[in-house]
Amino acid sequence: MGATKAEEFTLRDNRIARYAKALGHPARVAILRLLAERQACMCGDIVEELPIAQSTVSQHLGELKAAGLIQGEIDGPRVCYCINEKEWTSALTVLNEFFKLPKEIAAKCC
């Protein structure tokens, strides 16, 4: 993302940014949607559903895993991915809390 000064911000804000960044690309949103919408968790079927190459899908999966939002489990010759419910809930909570901030404020100036 270019030079960054992430360390100089609060842990809380970095946490929010980390989750948000993981959702910051339509391919990753689409992947998460697929994982959420299908009963079973997906593996390489994602590649067939999305307009990007296998290696790129794998890269996006890696980022989602790094953010903690999904987890993968080896299932025979393939890998079965699914949403990490715990982190997912955590992300929802953190983002919701953040988004509700202005609701508590009456005054508006512009």
Query: Which residues in this chain contact DNA in the complex, by CB under 7 A?
Result: 1-6, 21, 24-25, 27, 43-44, 47, 51-63, 72, 74, 76-79
Question: What does 69 bind: a copy of itself, DNA, none (CB cut-off 5 to 8 Å by kind)?
Answer: none
Residue among 25, 24, 33 nearest 81 (CA): 33
Residue number with CB closer to DNA (1 or 107): 1
Smallest distance from DNA to CB 103, Å? 25
In the chain, % helix, strand, coil (3-state, to 5) comes to 60, 10, 30
Neighbours of 5 (CB within 10 A): 6
